[in-house]
Structure 1
Amino acid sequence: MRRRGPDLDLSPPVRLDLWAILLAAGVAVGTLAPPLAPLLLASGSIVSIGALLWRDLVPTEWRLMAILAPVFAAVGVAIALLHAATPDPLAELAAMEPGEVVLVGRIASPPESSSFGYMADLRVESLWYEGREVLRGGGVEVFAGDLSIRVGDRVRVVGEISRPQIGEDGFDYSRYLATKKISALVEATSVRPVGEERGWIGQVHRRTDIALAYGLRPREAAVVRGMVLGDRSLMPEDLEKSFQRSGVTHVLAISGQHVVILAAVIYFALRLFAIPAGLR
C-alpha cells in the first residue's frame, strides 16, 4: 500500500550549492532591514511547499535545496538578530553620553573631510573614563579639526563620546557604521601620536603612499593616492568637487576596483616567481 503525502525521493543527485546565498541573504536582511525578514521567510516557505507538492516545479537535483530554503534563510536571520542582541559595552557607554573620555588605538581609515573638519575610523585598544580604564576593544569614528595622521598610526584621543543619530533625511547612520564595526562617535579636542610603533598595515600603507607620489606633481599625486589607497586627505577641494560634478567620485573610494588592482599585483607576482598555473 502506497503511503500518502508528499513524495520526497532523494535517490537522484542532490545540489545544495545555494545554501550559502540563502544564509547570506538571511543575515543581510536581518541586519539591514529586519522588517523584511518575514517576507523573506514567507517567500522561502512558498518555494518549499511548492517543491514538496509539485515534483516538476524545480529540477530534480535542486529539489532538496528548494525544500530547505526557508531553513537556511531562517538561520541567517537568527544569526543577525542574535548578533544585534549581543551587548556592546562601547555603544552602551556612548548612549549615556558621559562626557570626556580618553582612547588609545590605531587609525583604521584615511582622514576624510567632514562638516566638523576631518574624520577617521579608530580601532580602540583601551578607553579611560574619569581616570580609570573601563573597556577594551571596539571601533569609533573620530571627528577633529585637524587630523595629521595616517592609517596604522597609534594615537591618543581625548574627546566627548556619543551615539550616532538618525539624520533629518531618515538615514540611520548608526546602522551604516555598524557595518564597519563602529559603535560610537568621538568629537576630539586632542589627537596625538603615541610612540613610533606602527602596525604592518600602516607600514605598507606609508611605503605605498611614498612610492605613488614619487615623480608626480602634488595634484596628480593626490588623485593617484585617492584611486589606489582611497585617501583623499591631500586632494584640493576644487579638484574633489570636479570629481563630484562629473559623477566619478566612486573611483576615489575603496571598492571592487582596489580588489582588482590587488588581485592583478598578486597574479603577476606569482607569474614572476614562476608559480605553476594550477597553484595560482
Structure 2
Amino acid sequence: MTRRPLCVICLLVIGWLLVSGKYGMNEDSSWTSRFYDKKVTVTGQLVKQEQSTTSNQLYLKNNSILYQSKSYKIPNQKQILIFTEDNTSYRAGSLLTVSGICQEIQEPGNPGQFDLKKYYEIKEIQMVLNKGKVLNAGRTYWHIRQFLWDVRERFKWTFLQIANEENASVLDAMLLGDKKELDPEVKKLYQDNGIAHILAISGLHISMLGMALHKLLRKLGISWYLSGAAAGAIMSAYGLMTGFGVSTTRAVIMFLVYLLAGILGRTYDI
C-alpha cells in the first residue's frame, strides 16, 4: 500500500465522502419547505435542458429565489428543476428568470417504493417547480457547451433520418445518453435479457472511441503527448455533451488516467 500513495489518497477521500453524507455535513435542505405550494420566482444559469413531446425540463444552478420581496440564495451550488410547457430552446449557461409553483418532493410511502426525494438529492436538485414560466432570458451563454448541445441535436436528427423512431431512440440512449424517448417495452426487453448496460454510456463506449482515436492519431505520426491531449480533450467533450452521468464520468476519468500513465511512462494498472 505504501507504494501506491494515490490509492491511499483515494481511500481517504472516499472515507470522507461517506462520513460527510452519513453524519449530515451537507447543507440541510429543510428550509425549502417554506416555499411548498407557493408561487416563487427564481433566477439562475441554465445547465441542462430536456425536451420531450409533453414537457420541457430546465435545470438551473447559481440560483436565487425571490418570494414576498425577499431574496434567498440556494446553498452549495444546488440545482432547481423546473417543469414548463414552454418548448423554447434556451442557450446553455444563459441566465433565466422563471416563476412557478414550488412542489414538495414526496418521500416513499411504502417499503421498496422508488425514493424520488433521494433520487433528486443524488442529482443535487434542491427544489422542483411546476407550471414554470420563463420571464426573462439573458443574452450571454456558454459557447462551448452550446456548441456541444447543437452537435447532440444534430446527431439526434440524423438518427431519425436513417432509422425509425424506435431504433433512433435506442441510438440516442446508446450514443448520446438520452433515454427519455426510449420505449418502456424496449427498455424492459434489454433488462430482461441482461444487456441493459449497453444503453448507458460507460467504459465500453469511452474505451472503444477514445483508444481508437488515440491509436489513429499515433499511426498518423503524431506524438504521444499531442495525440493523448487531443483524445483526452475530445472524450471529455463527448462526456460533457452526453451529460456526464456517473458511469460516463468514471469512464472518462479512467481513460485520462490511461493517457497520463503513457505520458509518465508508467504501467496502466487495471
Q: Does the pair score TM above 0.5?
A: yes
User: What amino acid does structure 2 have at the position aligned with 1:244?
Assistant: K
Q: CA deviation at 1:249?
A: 5.0
TM-score (norm 1): 0.57
Q: 2:11 aligns with which of 5, 13, 22?
A: 22
Partner residue, 1:186 = 129
Shift of 1:217: 4.1
Query: Root-mean-square deviation (CA), in Å?
Result: 4.0
Normalising by structure 2, we get a TM-score of: 0.59
2:94 counterpart of 1:134: no
Specify the SS of the correspondent of 1:108. Answer: strand
User: Which runs of structure 2 are paired with 1:206-217 in the superposition (5 Å)?
Assistant: 206-214=150-158, 215-217=161-163
Shift of 1:139: 0.7
Q: Determine if the alignment matches structure 1 residue 111 to structure 2 residue 111.
A: no
What is the correspondence of 1:90-239 to structure 2 with a 5 Å cutoff? Answer: 91-97=29-35, 99-111=38-50, 119-135=57-73, 137-145=77-85, 148-149=88-89, 152=92, 154=94, 155-162=96-103, 164-170=105-111, 171-191=114-134, 194-199=137-142, 200-214=144-158, 215-217=161-163, 219=165, 220-233=167-180, 235=181, 239=183
Tell me how far apart the structure 2 counterparts of residues 187 and 108 of structure 1 sit (CA, whole Å).
Answer: 18
* Alignment deviations for residues 65-88 of structure 1 (CA, whole Å, 9 cap, x no partner): xxxxxxxxxxxxxxxx4xx33545
Q: For 2:162, what is the secondary structure of its paired residue?
A: coil
Name structure 1 gaps, 5 residues minimum.
Answer: 1-12, 35-80
5+ long unaligned stretches in structure 2: 229-270
Q: Quickly say closer, same or farther: Cα 1:212–1:175, change in 2 above 3 A.
A: closer
Structure 1 stretches of 4+ with a deviation exceeding 6 A read: none
Distance 1:275 1:159, change over 3 A: same
State percent identity of aligned pairs: 19
Pairs aligned (count): 213
Q: Cα–Cα, structure 1 residues 231 and 20, in superposed 2: closer, same or farther, change >3 Å?
A: same
